[in-house]
Structure 1
Amino acid sequence: MEHVIFSRRAGTDRKASDRKLPLAAGAYLKLRRMSAGLTVDQVANRLAPAPKDRDDSLALVRMLETSGARARHEGTIAALGQIYRFDVAVYRQLCEVPSDRHPVICRGCGCSRHDACEDDANCCHFVSAVECSRCADRAAQTQRLAS
C-alpha cells in the first residue's frame, strides 16, 4: 500500500537545507536501525544466530544499507522487521516509486508520518520537510549544551 503524501511544488518557501536529495531505501533502513540503537553486527547476529551464517548475514545487512540496493525477498524484510521497527510500505515506496512520490522521512531518525517516534504518550510531528520534532529537540538540546 502506497502512503499518500502532500505534493511538493516548486517555488515553495522551504529553507534550502530542507531541499535535500531523496532518501534511498538503504539509508532509510540504516536510520531506522540506528534509531533502534542497534549496530550492524547486532542485527546480523539476530538474523543468523548460528556462527557459520554470521558472515553472510553481516554482508547482507551491509548490502541492504547501501545506496541502490534493495531486498529481493519478502522474508528478508520481514526478518528485519522483527529486529527493529520500520514501515515496510515506506521501504517499498523508496525502492519502487519515483522520488516525487516518496513519503516525508526524518533525516535524523528515519521516522515518517506513517511511523512516528513515540515516547510515553507523545508522538513526534514534522517541523521541517526533513526533520521531526524529536530530532529537532535533540539538536537544540545538544546545541544548548555545547554553548
Structure 2
Amino acid sequence: MAQTRGFYVDTVERTTTAGQDAVWAVVEGIGGERGWYSTDPVWFARAAANRLHLPPSRLRHRADPDRLAEGERLDWWTVEAVERPRRLRLRSVVRMPGQAWLDISLEPGPDGTLVYRQTTVFRPAGAAGRAYWYALLAPHRAVMARLAADILRHAEG
C-alpha cells in the first residue's frame, strides 16, 4: 500500500494468458445479476451495513448486463470511466469517512500475457477516515485479491 498526496492506494496485480477481450468481458459484466463472484456476500453486506436504503432490485439493476456506461449506477458504485477494452473506474457510493474508487486496467504483458491491475484509491476524511482505512485494510486486501482471482478464473474459462 502506498500513500500519495493524502490518498491511500492499494493495488492487486496479476498476469494471465487469457486474451484481453475475454478478461474485459468479465470485468465489464461484473455486478448486477451476475454479482461479484465469491466476494458477492461481502460486498452486499458492506452496502447493507451502510444503510443505502435501496431495495435489492435496485442494487442488482443494470441497463445492459454486458456493457457499462459512464454515469451509470452499478450496485453500490457509479461508473466514472470506461475505456474499452482496457480500463474501468468505479466510484463508491457507500457511506464512509472518505471517498473510494476501484480502478481496473488491462495492459499487454511480457511474452503475450496480459497484466490485470486492480487499484483501490481512498481519500480519507480526517482522522476517522485514516482509522477506517487501517481498520479495514486486512479484510479489504483479502476481498480484492479474491475478486481479482475470480475475474481471471472466469476469463480463463
Could you say which TM-score interval applies, normalised by the shorter chain?
Answer: 0.3 to 0.5
Structure number having the greater strand percentage: 2
Structure number having the greater helix percentage: 1
TM-score, normalised with respect to structure 2: 0.31
TM-score, normalised with respect to structure 1: 0.33
- Larger RCO (CA within 8 A; separation ≥ 6): 2
